[in-house]
Amino acid sequence: MKDTMSFQRFLEEASRALSYAELILAGRMPYKLGHLYVRHPARHFFGASCRKELLRDWHIRVDNYCNCIPGYCAGISLGDTRDLNAVCRFSRLKELHVLKALLSDLRSSTKHIENAATRS
């Protein structure tokens, strides 16, 4: 390929290929490219799980504060990487209510999160 191509032209020519790629929206991109995605209310995802995205064995990040960030799930920490044994111990999910909900059925986990919040 020579020269440059506008992003609009790229979308027109490569739209099918995009269904096989993950486009990571960061910064201003969500505001500019949001029209490319189907929007759903939060309840659409109840009954779904983020297990695949959270437990990828091929991509994690460690932020400046030593948080282990799974895949592309910005803002969700699996724990402090200075204690890798704790990060890798899934028995501690009882303590991590939001993460537990994302790994299982959001619908059934929502009640557990609400109960934990009212006890605090």
The 3 state secondary structure assigned to the chain is CCCCCCHHHHHHHHHHHHCCCCCCCCCCHHHHHHHHCCCCCHHHHCCCCCHHHHCCCCCEEECCCCEEEECCCCCCCCCEHHHHHHHCCHHHHHCCHHHHHHHCCHHHHHHHHHHHHHHC
43-94 tens-digit pLDDT: 888 888 888 777 777 778 888 999 888 876 767 888 899 998 888 876 676 7
The answer to whether residue 29 sits within a structural domain is yes
Indicate whether 105 belongs to any domain: yes
Counting the structural domains of the chain, the total is 2
Q: Does residue 1 lie within any of the structural domains? A: no
Q: Which domain holds residue 102?
A: 45-119
Whether 80 maps to a domain, the answer reads yes
Q: Does 75 map to a domain?
A: yes
Q: Which residue has the higher pLDDT, 114 or 67?
A: 67
The answer to whether residues 58 and 30 belong to one domain is no
The answer to the question of residue 72 being in a domain is yes
User: Are 55 and 112 within one domain?
Assistant: yes
Regarding whether 50 and 107 lie in a shared domain, the answer is yes
Q: In this structure, are 38 and 50 located in the same domain?
A: no
pLDDT at 18 over 80: no
Q: Specify if 53 maps to a domain.
A: yes
